[in-house]
Each structure stands twice: as structure tokens, then as C-alpha cells.
Amino acid sequence: MNCLLVGLALAAAAVTELPVGTELQYSGSLTQQSKNPTSEAKTFTVTALSIAAEDGPQLVWSVEERGSGGWSWPERFGSIPLATDNNSKAQPIRVLFTHDGLPHPIGIRSPLFEFQDKLAADANWSDGRLEYRVTRKRKIKDRECWQIEVASNLGRAQTLLIDAASGVLVSNDQRVFMGRGDEFQLKMELQSQKTLAAPDVAKSQAAFVALRQLQSSLGRTGEQKVVELTAIQLKSAQESIGSIEKQAEGTMWSKLAGIIGRDLQQQARRLEGAAGLAKKFVGQPAPKSIFKLADGSTIPATEVQGKVVVLHFWEYRHENLTEPYGQIGYLDFLNGKRKKLGVKVIGVNVDPKTGERENAGAAIRSMKKLMEFMNLAYDVAVDDGTLLSSYGDPRTLGSPLPLWVVIGHDGKIAHYHIGYYNITPDKGLEQLDEAVINALRKQREAQ
């Protein structure tokens, strides 16, 4: 599901250093090579600043995206160590592009060329599966630049223009492939280069340090596509955003800080709504439910009455499948572990197409493909949205599925959770499992 990105060098550390305070700004675009005038496209801006940090010189960066897809704010900024012995800490600059309904991370070259020491007339070298060849020198806006052709086994991958004196990337024209071999053109050009005054550099660096601390506190892996903060994370972020916005005023971080501030307000409303739903349902009798399976049959009442039941509302679809797959792999493991104790796990495929005569067949086939792909051992019912609504649809609050509900032996809702659980691979869905165990304990006490 990842795109095939030909000729990418992800934020490799450069062999040169920019003077501290050098700010670079790039504009870029990603367009599909198609005659269709409605083909997908997006534009982006990358801003980078060289700073002197305690662990060595760095190039801090932020990216702004417009068009199809885009990263959430924690993934829109980072740093690239400029010392050649510090490569492991490099964060790739990436944009996120949605093609055929799937998100594709697209790597962007570092503003500093990683092979500057190799640049010379007619030079050529290899790096993995890529072949680099210096073809000529060109003058671009008073800059003496090396033109470099980068090729792979698929042919020309990139054409780079590198400032001969500094190693700064001046432009990149690159082929990118996504989906089923669909070709796109990525273009990126240097729009401005300037040197900031020392006080401005210090202010920008202080804002970055504060942003980085906030980013680190969230424990992001770099692959999440949305921001769903816990109550604890939200409280911590709210405590720091005021000072971050003040520090960011007049710097390259001002727009990003504003975006974060607005997102935190939305996060607060989402969590308040989620807490309200949980308060409304927990302890109350579960709505009367009929669980219809893909073959038209229903789950017998004897399989749910008087038992601990786990419901997992999610879009069970094979197409556009992205990790963590609704955490269904962990749920299947929990099912295997607790089924022998009488726990009934039911997945609920929330898809309005299952209620449409002309589309129901395709929706159910997609669901079955997913079940086979994940080798799920628990039943999955179909729902056009009606069943979910009876349990409270979190999407109306801006919270995406999944929704997890544990129903006790007495038919009352014992646990209600919106969104993904925080997990560790060795413990799986620990919070959900604790709720199940508590419900089983109450069941035994009542017998």
C-alpha cells in the first residue's frame, strides 16, 4: 500500500554546514501525469532553518500542505542533523498524498545535498539502486549549479540542481509512482534564501524546542494520520500552547502554532463529547440489538443473552485498508483468549452500502476479504449505521471509529471506549481485557 518512490534520499545528512540562521523556503507540487483535467494534485511549502543545537548543527523544518491529503500537525515539523555522524536522528521530510482513497507518504529531499563531496564535472556514483551522474553546470538566478541526473532500473528518476558553492538544493524534478503504477511528477524549487539576525534565530530556535517537547510528549510513531489525544495529553498540551504561540510570533512556526491551538480546542470538544456518551451509556441496559451476518442469518440470542459481549464497531473493508486495521488483530487475539470463558466478541461492519440493494454485495465481499486476510475467528455483523446510532455514533462528534462496547451478563453496558486503545505489543488491548475480566468477575459473583 506504500507508494513506490523512485530515487528518494530521505533527509540524508549533508556533508556541509550552512551558516547558522540560514532560512530556506521551497514551494512544491505533486501532480498526476494524466490527460484527465480532474486528476489528483497537491501543493506544499517547506521552510528550513539552520541552528546550532547542543548535539550539533541542525536543519529544523516545517511543511505546509494543500490539496489531496496531509499530515496532522505533529508530523509537519522536525529536524535534520547536519553532522555526518548523526544520521540516525534524521527525520524525513514528507508530505501525505491521498490517491485512490489511500494515504501515501511521499519523501522530500533534504534541502542540503548529501553527496556534495562527490560533485565534479562528469562525476558519477552509485547509492544502493540509484545511479547519480553530473551532466553539466548551469547558472540559475545568479547561482552556479550542478545538474545531476538520478536513474534507477525504471529509468530517469530525478533531475536535481544543486548550488555548487553551498550544496543547497535549488530544484528537484522527480518521478513518483503510486497505486497500480500511476505516475506522478514531484517538483520542488527554492523560492528564497536569507540569513536571519541572531535574536530572530534564537527566538525561532526556542519556539522549535518547545514544539519538539510537545511533539515528543505525544509518543507519535511518525505514521499516524490523525491526532486523537488522550485527556492527559490534551491537558499537558493546553498548558504549553499559550507560551508556544507567544514564542512563535514572527517566526516560521507562527502558523503551525496557530493550527495546534485550534486543534486543541477541537480535541477538547471531542473528548467532552466522548465522555458524555460514555456517561450516558455505561450502567444502562444495552439497546435491543439484532446482529445480522453477511449470509442474511442472525446471531442466535442464546449466544449473547446472559454472557459478556464485546462489540467492535468499525468499517470492515478490504479496500483502502490502513494500519492499525482497527486493532482487529489484537481483538482476535483477545477473542481466542477469552472465548473459552464464555465471552462473545462481535465485530460490527458499519457501512451504509450494506443497506443499499445495488451496493450491498460489493460491500459484503470487501468485508469477507478483510476477514480472510486477517484470518478473523469472531463473527462480524453488518450495519448500515442504524445499530451504531443506537449505541451513540462518535463520528457526529468528530471522532472516527472504532467504538468498543462491553456488555455484562446482566445486559447492561459495562465499558464504552471511542477510538484506538494505547497498546504495547506484549500486552495488546489491556484496557479492554481488564473491562472484560471485570465483567466476568461480576458474572461469577451473580451465579
Task: Give 426-440 pLDDT, tens digit per residue.
Answer: 889 999 999 999 999
Task: Give 3-25 pLDDT, tens digit per residue.
Answer: 433 333 333 334 456 899 999 99
User: Which ranges of 282-393 would DSSP assign to H, the alpha helix?
Assistant: 328-338, 360-374, 386-391
Give the pLDDT band (50/70/90) at residue 39: low
If DSSP codes are grouped into helix, strand and coil, which group holds residue 116? helix
Strands 182-195 and 41-53: unpaired
317 φ/ψ angles, rounded to the nearest 5 degrees: -135, 140
Q: Tell me the average pLDDT across 325-331.
A: 92
Judged against a pLDDT cut of 90, whether residue 156 lies above it is answered with: no
Give yes or no for a contact between 147 and 138, defined as CB atoms under 8 angstroms apart.
yes
Q: Tell me the average pLDDT across 47-54.
A: 93
Handedness of CA 75, 263, 348, 386 (dihedral sign): negative
Measured between alpha carbons, how far is 29 from 65 in angstroms, rounded to an integer? 10
Give the pLDDT band (50/70/90) at residue 90: low
Q: CA gyration radius for the chain?
A: 26
Question: Containing H/E element for 406?
Answer: strand 403-407
The domain made up of 301-446 has a fold known as Glutaredoxin (3.40.30)
Q: Tell me the average pLDDT across 46-60.
A: 92
Which has more confidence, 5 or 349?
A: 349
Task: Give 375-408 pLDDT, tens digit per residue.
Answer: 999 999 999 999 999 999 999 988 889 999 999 9
In 3D, which of 172, 44, 63 has the Cα closest to residue 109? 172
Position 35 scores a pLDDT of 59
Measured between alpha carbons, how far is 141 from 160 in angstroms, rounded to an integer? 15
Handedness of CA 111, 117, 122, 123 (dihedral sign): negative
Give yes or no for a contact between 77 and 60, defined as CB atoms under 8 angstroms apart.
yes
Give the pLDDT band (50/70/90) at residue 220: confident
Q: Long-range contact list for 31-37, CB < 8 A, 24+ apart?
A: 31/184, 31/185, 32/99, 32/182, 32/183, 32/184, 33/183, 33/184, 33/185, 34/182
| pTM given for the model | 0.80
Q: Tell me the average pLDDT across 146-159.
A: 89
Judged against a pLDDT cut of 50, whether residue 118 lies above it is answered with: yes
Q: Which of 108-117, 378-387, 408-417 has the lowest mean pLDDT?
A: 108-117
Q: Tell me the average pLDDT across 157-181.
A: 93
Position 38 scores a pLDDT of 53
42 φ/ψ angles, rounded to the nearest 5 degrees: -155, 160
In 3D, which of 296, 297, 328 has the Cα closest to residue 311? 328
Measured between alpha carbons, how far is 405 from 311 in angstroms, rounded to an integer? 5
Domain boundaries, the chain: 22-195, 202-281, 301-446
Position 425 scores a pLDDT of 81
Q: Which amino acid makes up residue 75?
A: E
Judged against a pLDDT cut of 90, whether residue 252 lies above it is answered with: yes
> What mean pLDDT, rounded, does the chain reach?
90
In 3D, which of 301, 333, 330 has the Cα closest to residue 314? 330
